[in-house]
Amino acid sequence: MSELELQAESRHHDRVRDVLGDMRRATVQRLGMFEADYNEGTKNRGKGDVGPDHHLGYSMARRGVERLEQLADRDVPMFFGRLWFTSGSDYHLGRIHVADERDRSRPLVVDWRAPLAGRFYRASVHAPLEVTRRRRFGFQGSVLTGFEDEDLSAGEESGSELLAAEIERPRTGPMRDIVATIQPEQDELIRRDLDTTVCVQGAPGTGKTAVGLHRAAWLLYTYTQRLERSGMLVVGPNENFLRYIADVLPTLGEMAVWQVTVDRLTGAADAPGRDAPEAALIKHDARMVQVCERAVWSHLGHIDEPLVAPYEGIRWTLDVEDITHAVDRARAGTRTWEDGRKSLQRAVLDRLARQRETRIRQPADGRWVTAMKRHPVVKLFFDAAWPRLTANQVLRRLATDAAFRREVCRGVLSGDESELLRSIRTGAKASPADVLLLDEVQGHLTSLEPDKTYGHIVVDEAQDLSPMQCRAIARRSAAGSLTVLGDLAQGTTPWAAEDWGSQMRHLGHEEAEHTDLTIGYRVPGAIIDVANRVLPHLGVAVAPARSLRSEGSVDVVRCDDVVTAAADAVEEALAAEGLVGVIAPAGVLGAVRSVVPANERVELVPSGLAKGLEFDHVVLVEPAEVVAAFADGAEVPGAGLRHLYVALTRAVSRLTVVHAKPLPTEMTGADLPSPTRA
């Protein structure tokens, strides 16, 4: 690396910053203009006056604001790499496209999502993709400190030190983007086209969340128009996790993605009711799909009399056979109750209209058809054959009408299981699972309006979703695609998935492409070795992670008082750089909190909520209690060990285990003390 070249690159970086400043000023000006136009256009308008196109004005203004946010000063470098091509041209690559208005001949920085930029991540000596040289830049904050070159045309391909440094870097806050160091196997997933649904199984720290978020940003850039219309959604396991990932998409220039938990998406988060574990289990069960479907469709009436509607002196008649045929066709040809009802209505009115033509040789005009539609006999007929239904009504009947419940559960649920459905409540007393059932029943009644569905949904920690939660997501992506991310070994809910095939079926995308990620970017070898001891005890067949990170340590502190020992461990941990996470069973956390208050460098996390998070240094308190805390039937059997596996895989550099009780046998080995038996 020559000093002169470094200076030239620094000058380019300064220029990019200046131009970004110009772009920002221009955007502010444009935004001001849109707003002024909009305000002017809405002034002095009378009722019925045609005004400006609100939607266009609004969306332009909003885009302006988003762009401003995107350009707001952040302590991030303006570019991270540079490519030279066989054609002789070369480009800098960064988080957003930067071009000088005064010289549009060539962009100063190309967005990492542009097709050309993909080669930065994938070009190799064997498949150079017309790239002759690749440069990676090193920054401290936003100050350029160096670069590394790989001369691919000369057969030079090096394990990058900058990449290693980025992966080894201490974590100091929420999740950050990885645009500078995306790996080829990750890039393959990020750039799959919009119509492809992918399902990624990956051990802890293999970059699943990172891939999902970067894929969302890439799709928004590549399919802007389609996704602007149809929308993009990111579903995460809990609010804490969403806070942890919240900054990634904005840093990548995407402000308008709704990031939400599945409970908030379905409204279950606001449901005040509580279910007994066995009732919740049955309500989330895949068999409830059939129960809900039957509960709706069993309302089809049994018609054993002809329809006779006297009108204009004639008895218009449909016989039972005709009616049955029309009902069967409507049932077979439609997916939802409401569509079926409309289809039957159309068929019946059509047949009556044809009768008019054949019997009195007069075509049925709109007025006649409307009159028939409103005819009391015809209305009564529809109400009997295909009544109007609401989801609340169907669920209430399932809860309260014993004969109905027996009928729709027959052969699907056992007698005891179907009795648990008596606990279903609607309205103000509904439980989260009841809200999901309502969503499911509603799904059999009507299709969701287009504004409630999404062109693409990224689903993280998908192994924890119940069949009913999956189906709620599937309904919201009816015409869209999914990126499904998870790790079967980290499944802890009572309904955690056992395999991805059935999970994808519940998610409505059986055709998904399945991929495994096994290279770990978070957990160092020494720590993953301990976690991998637990893995075979988790009852799932998944590949263990291989760590890319070498620097890391595990300390085990045997003590009499875990609270004091945890406080000491935190104090020691704070001597090094980075975030410290104290992961403890909920029952112990309160006592730990009284001596280790949380601050900007220390977070205290109950072991049930550690999923998806990471810390530079983890202090894991009383593993035996972590395992025991989840043996109460409200989780999947063996959930305790899975929580332990999750807790063991949160550390980027160091893990300190403090314990007074014997360590669980599943995690001990030659380098960790064997548990002492009482």
Ligand X SMILES: Nc1ncnc2c1ncn2[C@@H]1O[C@H](COP(=O)(O)OP(=O)(O)OP(=O)(O)O)[C@@H](O)[C@H]1O
207 binds ligand X (CB under 6 A): yes
Find out whether 372 and 316 touch, Cβ atoms under 8 Å.
yes
Distance CA 327, CA 296 (A): 15
* Residue 172 is assigned to a ligand binding site: no
Q: 389 vs 535, which CB is nearer to ligand X?
A: 535
Distance CA 478, CA 122 (A): 33
Q: In the sheet that 258-261 helps form, which strands lie side by side, from edge to edge?
A: 258-261, 232-236, 456-459, 481-486, 198-202, 513-517
Which amino acid makes up residue 58? Answer: Y
Q: 61 vs 646, which CB is nearer to ligand X?
A: 646
Quote the least distance from Cβ 489 to ligand X, whole Å: 9
Closest residue to ligand X using C-beta atoms: 207
* Residue 639 is assigned to a ligand binding site: no
Find out whether 342 and 445 touch, Cβ atoms under 8 Å.
no
Q: 206 vs 423, which CB is nearer to ligand X?
A: 206
Residue 183 phi/psi, 5-degree rounding, is -95, 155
Pairing state of beta strands 90-94 and 81-85?
A: antiparallel
Pairing state of beta strands 615-621 and 553-558?
A: unpaired
CA 167 to chain CA centroid, nearest Å: 24
Q: Which of 202, 480, 585, 623 binds ligand X (CB under 6 A)?
A: 202
Q: Which long-range contacts (CB under 8 A, 24 or more apart) does 243-249 make?
A: 243/174, 244/174, 244/175, 244/612, 244/613, 245/174, 245/175, 245/209, 245/213, 245/612, 246/174, 247/174, 247/175, 247/176, 248/175, 248/176, 248/177, 248/210, 248/213, 249/213, 249/216, 249/217
547 binds ligand X (CB under 6 A): no
524 binds ligand X (CB under 6 A): no
Query: Which residues, other chains included, contact 426 with Cβ-Cβ below 8 Å and sequence gap of 6+?
Result: 392, 395, 396, 434, 438
* Residue 202 is assigned to a ligand binding site: yes
Residue 640 phi/psi, 5-degree rounding, is -55, -45
* Residue 209 is assigned to a ligand binding site: yes
Residue 383 phi/psi, 5-degree rounding, is -65, -30
64 binds ligand X (CB under 6 A): no
Kindly write down the DSSP assignment for every residue of 361-382, as one continuous string: -----HHHHHHHHH-HHHHHHH
Listed ranges 12-20, 99-107, 203-211, 628-636: which one lies at the site for ligand X (CB under 6 A) = 203-211
Listed ranges 148-156, 204-212, 301-309, 390-398: which one lies at the site for ligand X (CB under 6 A) = 204-212
Q: 207 vs 578, which CB is nearer to ligand X?
A: 207
Q: Which of 82, 522, 533, 654 binds ligand X (CB under 6 A)?
A: 522
201 binds ligand X (CB under 6 A): no
Quote the least distance from Cβ 252 to ligand X, whole Å: 13
Q: 19 vs 488, which CB is nearer to ligand X?
A: 488
Listed ranges 105-113, 181-189, 495-503, 556-564: which one lies at the site for ligand X (CB under 6 A) = 181-189
Quote the least distance from Cβ 520 to ligand X, whole Å: 8
Q: Which of 100, 166, 247, 498 binds ligand X (CB under 6 A)?
A: 166
* Residue 208 is assigned to a ligand binding site: yes
Quote the least distance from Cβ 482 to ligand X, whole Å: 16
For residue 604, the surrounding DSSP H or E stretch is strand 602-606
Pairing state of beta strands 110-111 and 90-94?
A: parallel
Quote the least distance from Cβ 183 to ligand X, whole Å: 5
137 binds ligand X (CB under 6 A): no
Exposure string for 177-193, b = 16+ CB within 10 A, e = fewer: bbbbbbbebbbbbbbbe
Q: How many residues bind ligand X (CB under 6 A)?
A: 22
Q: 413 vs 542, which CB is nearer to ligand X?
A: 542
Quote the least distance from Cβ 180 to ligand X, whole Å: 8
Exposure string for 58-95, b = 16+ CB within 10 A, e = fewer: eebbebbebbbebbeeeebbbbbbbbbbeeeeebbbbb
Taking residues 475 to 494 in sequence order and writing x for each that binds ligand X by CB under 6 A, - otherwise, the string is ------------x--x----
Quote the least distance from Cβ 241 to ligand X, whole Å: 9
Q: 604 vs 646, which CB is nearer to ligand X?
A: 646
Q: 295 vs 542, which CB is nearer to ligand X?
A: 542
Q: Which of 183, 201, 442, 503 binds ligand X (CB under 6 A)?
A: 183
Q: How distant, in Å, are the alpha carbons of 128, 149, 231, 478, 597 from that of 119?
A: 8, 15, 28, 33, 47
Find out whether 454 and 232 touch, Cβ atoms under 8 Å.
yes
- CA neighbours within 13 Å on the CB side: how many for 147? 26
Listed ranges 36-44, 51-59, 191-199, 200-208: which one lies at the site for ligand X (CB under 6 A) = 200-208
Site for ligand X in 589-618 (CB under 6 A): 612, 614
Q: Which of 93, 131, 182, 378 binds ligand X (CB under 6 A)?
A: 182
Query: Which residues, other chains included, contact 482 with Cβ-Cβ below 8 Å and sequence gap of 6+?
Result: 197, 198, 199, 456, 457, 458, 459, 473, 507, 509, 512
Q: Which of 209, 266, 431, 477 binds ligand X (CB under 6 A)?
A: 209
253 binds ligand X (CB under 6 A): no
Quote the least distance from Cβ 211 to ligand X, whole Å: 7
Question: What 3-state DSSP class applies to 45?
Answer: coil
Quote the least distance from Cβ 163 to ligand X, whole Å: 7
Q: 64 vs 520, which CB is nearer to ligand X?
A: 520
* Residue 204 is assigned to a ligand binding site: yes
Quote the least distance from Cβ 166 to ligand X, whole Å: 5
Quote the least distance from Cβ 490 to ligand X, whole Å: 6
Listed ranges 182-190, 332-340, 412-420, 447-455: which one lies at the site for ligand X (CB under 6 A) = 182-190
* Residue 283 is assigned to a ligand binding site: no
Q: Which of 67, 95, 136, 208 binds ligand X (CB under 6 A)?
A: 208
Query: Which residues, other chains included, contact 609 with Cβ-Cβ below 8 Å and sequence gap of 6+?
Result: 238, 240
Annotated binding site: 202-209
Q: Give the binding site for ligand X (CB under 6 A).
A: 166-167, 178, 181-183, 186, 202, 204-210, 487, 490, 521-522, 612, 614, 649
Annotated binding site for ATP: 202-209
